[in-house]
């Protein structure tokens, strides 16, 4: 896999940046203003890969991603799990008593909700964690704090006021790594795989039940099922599923054959090893 250039949403020091460095230590990273911008860099071949968060063990799914991926000509080629250790940051000389406002990405704010509430902070939603750290560094006001990583504190010369500010221990974010080229791994019996796809169901009674029935009857495990309405309609839903199997396995082949009878517009998002 060509991991030379990898794009992510956020600024230097963001958790996505940390995930890039952990998964691809020798990569060149490109910071982007949005998830869509990061993905577009891969589509235009400016970057080889994009590191995109899809869900967190505390705050749940990043819904925006499930709406973006089917629109793009990209494929999931890998997943990566990154531990998230939220820190409360402030300018030099500040402390928890001086802070009135705390800013971060909405996901990070959700993951620190109890601590924010207990300290009577006013939460300010921003585009990303490290960007919030950079902003309060430039503001240089003891009334403002940020929730971000230890790396962000170092990069922006901030004080770590609490290095375990998250509500839960063991907070983990799952990332998917996107490429313009599909990279289907060869099936090996002792490995575990994920096949990700999206589809719509046909307009017949119990269509979703019947579409998923083939997975049950063939003993295929579904790891995830997400649904969301398509733009411009409240009646048409698209479904995203992560299947714990490789298409070369007979059981999945049979299940997918059954799926085609009751589903339409099936699009494969990627086949990759399960981490």
SS (H, E, C) 159-170: EEEECCCCCCCC
Q: Is 129 a catalytic residue?
A: no
- Give residue for tokens 């998230």: 84
Instruction: Give the active site residue among 175, 199, 215, 239.
Output: 175
What is the Cα–Cα distance from 199 to 257, expressed in whole angstroms?
Answer: 14
Q: Is 114 a catalytic residue?
A: no
DSSP line for 67-127: HHGGGSS-EEEEEEEEE---EEEE-TT--TTT--EEEE-HHHHHHTHHHHHHTTPEEEE-S
DSSP line for 145-214: EEEE-HHHHHHTT-EEEES--SSSTT-EEEEEEEESS--PPPP-TTS-EEEEEEEEE-SSTTHHHHHHHH
Instruction: Give the active site residue among 24, 35, 58, 173.
Output: 173
Q: Is 255 helix (H, G, I), strand (E, B) or coil?
A: helix
Neighbour count for residue 134 (Cβ, 10 Å): 21
Active site residues: 173, 175
């Amino acid at each position: 896999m060509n991991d030379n250039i990898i794009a992510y949403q956020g600024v230097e020091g963001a958790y996505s940046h940390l995930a890039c460095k952990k998964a691809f230590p020798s990569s060149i990273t490109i910071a982007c203003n949005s998830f869509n911008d990061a993905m577009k860099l891969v589509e235009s071949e400016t970057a080889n890969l994009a590191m995109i968060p899809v869900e967190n063990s505390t705050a749940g799914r990043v819904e925006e991603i499930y709406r973006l991926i089917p629109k793009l000509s990209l494929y999931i080629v890998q997943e990566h799990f990154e531990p998230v250790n939220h820190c409360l940051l402030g300018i030099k000389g500040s402390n928890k008593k001086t802070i009135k406002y705390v800013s971060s990405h909405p996901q990070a704010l959700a993951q620190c909700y109890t601590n924010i509430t207990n300290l009577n902070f006013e939460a300010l939603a921003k585009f990303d964690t490290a960007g919030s750290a950079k902003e309060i560094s430039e503001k240089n006001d003891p009334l403002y704090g940020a929730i971000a990583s230890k790396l962000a504190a170092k990069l922006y010369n901030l004080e770590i006021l609490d290095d375990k500010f998250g509500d839960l221990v063991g907070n983990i974010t799952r990332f998917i790594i996107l490429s313009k080229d599909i990279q289907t791994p060869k099936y090996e019996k002792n490995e575990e795989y994920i096949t990700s796809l999206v589809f719509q169901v046909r307009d017949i009674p119990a269509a979703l039940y019947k579409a998923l029935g083939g997975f049950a009857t063939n003993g295929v495990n579904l790891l995830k099922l997400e649904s969301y309405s398509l733009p411009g309609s409240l009646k048409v839903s698209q479904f995203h599923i992560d299947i714990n199997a490789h298409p070369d396995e007979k059981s999945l082949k049979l299940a997918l054959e059954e799926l085609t009878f009751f589903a339409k517009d099936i699009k494969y998002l990627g086949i990759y090893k399960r981490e």
